[in-house]
Amino acid sequence: MALATEAQFHVLAVDDSLIDRKLIERLLKTSSFLVTTVDSGSKALEFLGLGEDHCSLAPSSSEQHDAEVNMVITDYCMPEMTGYDLLKKIKESSALRNIPVVIMSSENVPARISRCLENGAEEFLLKPVKLSDMSRLRPHILKGQHKEPHKEPQQRLQVCNDTCGSSGYSDSTPANVSGSSNFDSNNGGSTNKRKAMDEGLLPPESKRTNIYD
């Protein structure tokens, strides 16, 4: 799947408060994000394809429906399903766990913040969310975009065999092996001369007289 460009980054914003939903939508759009908003965790799961009926929620436009979700930003305090519950559902899904999740809350509760961060949230933003907070989202989206796909053990073994096998053959073969046959053929005259000397057909070199002396 092709990586989204910055102009295509699609954020799913989840908040039961209409005012807060409108605010986060405006801030995200001002920061050049494509935005889809829903008012509950269950609708967010439906939009992501994890609803109980396994059907996607129809968004406000076909363009948004076709766009891959690159980040989920959700309020913490929501009825029925909290932002923390939504975070856990996403991180438990093998298909969605790489999607960055950011939690928002108007309550600064350290234990709540720690629990969300320890369970996979990228950021915990305190409301009211500001435009300056939007700059903190982009690095998390980029990190999620560049995560390598999971490889099965057999695939990793095959890659290792393909890579190490070819280089191993080359390294274990001495560099001068291919030149040894050339050495024998190039010195064929010397070999034949020594054979003749051994059979007595030619005198040893030390006993031969140079006719030019």
The reported pLDDT for the residue numbered 143 is: 79
Q: Nearest 10 degrees: CA dihedral of 74, 76, 79, 80?
A: 80
The reported pLDDT for the residue numbered 199 is: 58
Ranges in the chain, pLDDT < 70: 1-7, 52-67, 144, 146-213
Cα separation, 13 vs 40, whole angstroms? 10
The reported pLDDT for the residue numbered 170 is: 41
What value does the mean pLDDT of the chain take? 75
The reported pLDDT for the residue numbered 54 is: 44
The reported pLDDT for the residue numbered 8 is: 77
CATH fold, domain 6-145, is Rossmann fold (3.40.50)
Cα separation, 119 vs 123, whole angstroms? 11
| pTM value surpassing 0.75 | no
- All structural domains of the chain with their residue ranges: 6-145
pLDDT digits (tens, 9 = 90+) for 48-102: 998 764 444 444 433 445 568 999 999 999 999 999 999 999 999 999 999 999 9
The reported pLDDT for the residue numbered 158 is: 47
Cα separation, 124 vs 113, whole angstroms? 6
